[in-house]
Structure 1
Amino acid sequence: MRIGLTGGIASGKSTVARLLVELGAYLVDADEVAREVVLPGEPALAAVASRFGQAVLREDGSLDRKKLGGIVFQDRAALQELEAILHPAIRQEMQKRMRAEDEQHPNGLVVADVPLLYETKQEKLYEGILVSYVPAYMQAERLMQREAMGHEEAERRVALQMDIEEKRKHADWVIDNSGSLEETRSQVLAFWKSQGLP
């Protein structure tokens, strides 16, 4: 079975993914793939540098994420252009890795951790969607702590994504991640058992 795992920024998706892996799931992480498709020598990195200029590259030829983030998080059109370059490359690599996991573990649960799953219209690629949920105000609070950024910037980054309440509404399963780790763990375990997984 293949499921998509998503949520909002700072909604605890990584925690849910880790708990699923502890239970025996096989994880394919879009963020990890996203980092790999922009490694030096990859076509996507060349396309990013061509569009946003050599200033987004470090001296060693690797991507300067902070510089690129400074450009695209200030300008929605630039962000959409970046996504148009990266998303096809990421999606192709994700599908390849999921096929490999399916072949190796035909009876296992393959979890694709995809932050922008709904925004990139990927729902149909999975048998179901699991959303890691916290209210928007909590996303901003966690982001401020995690990234040491101001309240306004945190709220702006949260607002760049699809509203978390919308994601929750469209989900097949929801893990409410606003409580303790133990509360999250017990919900993940209940989800696991509900799917008849060993």
Structure 2
Amino acid sequence: MVIGITGPAGSGKSTVAHFIKKLLLKNVQIVEVDRVGHQVLTLFFVQEELREVFGEEIFDENNILSRKKLGEIVFKDKEKLEILNKIVHPEIFKKTKEILNKSLKKSDIIILDAALLYKIGLHILCDKVIFVDAPKEIRIKRLTGSRKIPYQKAKSIVDSQEGEYFGPYDFIIYHDNGFEKLEKQIREILKKLGYLKED
């Protein structure tokens, strides 16, 4: 089974994915689509396309693409973010599909941890989708705390996802009030999917 986990930045998607892995004794693999995106940015033809659109300023003195510089440009400008997405999303889809095809042979459950599950089109590869949400201030706090992102950048990331489409989904989890409540919600979903026994 392939479970997609989606939701805005800082909502706790990775936490939910790792909780599922911990609660199930089955062979669970987590695919972090963010990391796949980082790999895609190292591809030569992708970098050349980005160079044409965003210029030399996104590369450092060693001609290495700076995700930091690229992020500073796109998270302030929705149009530029859309251009970036059009370049990288098809490659992310292709690479994720390749990973899934290999992993399905050896894993019982694969979790796709992807904020932009629908935007990239990855939902069509999922059997079930879980949407994780949390209030805006909590999300910003998580990004600045656990991920050590400066406040202004964290706010830009959260603001850039305002109005983003995260559905439809099969289940929703509110990660706004500690791990006990979170685990309870995850257990309920896993029972409905037949992976945990009813109490």
TM range (shorter): 0.7 to 0.9
Deviation at 1:90, TM superposition (A): 0.5
Q: CA RMSD in A?
A: 2.3
* Superposed counterparts of 1:1-198, under 5 Å: 1-22=1-22, 23=24, 24-39=27-42, 41-105=43-107, 108-145=108-145, 146-150=148-152, 154-163=154-163, 167=166, 170-197=168-195
Deviation at 1:156, TM superposition (A): 4.3
TM-score by length of 2: 0.83
What secondary structure, in the 3-state scheme, does the structure 2 residue paired with 1:5 have?
strand
Q: Contact 2:92 / 2:120 at 8 angstroms: preserved in 1? A: no
What secondary structure, in the 3-state scheme, does the structure 2 residue paired with 1:3 have?
strand
Aligned sequence identity (%):
28
Which consecutive unaligned segments of at least 5 residues does structure 2 have? Answer: none
Deviation at 1:54, TM superposition (A): 1.9
Deviation at 1:77, TM superposition (A): 1.1
TM-score by length of 1: 0.84
Q: Contact 1:119 / 1:162 at 8 angstroms: preserved in 2? A: no
Distance (whole Å) between structure 1 residues aligned to residue 62 and residue 183 of structure 2: 42
What secondary structure, in the 3-state scheme, does the structure 1 residue paired with 2:31 have?
strand
Cα distance change on mapping 1:101 and 1:121 into 2, 3 Å: closer
Code of the residue aligned with 2:93 in structure 1: it is R
Which consecutive unaligned segments of at least 5 residues does structure 1 have? Answer: none
Cα deviation code 1:17-59 (max 9, x no counterpart):
22223334211111010111112x5322222123211221123
What secondary structure, in the 3-state scheme, does the structure 1 residue paired with 2:10 have?
coil
What secondary structure, in the 3-state scheme, does the structure 2 residue paired with 1:170 have?
coil
Deviation at 1:197, TM superposition (A): 2.5
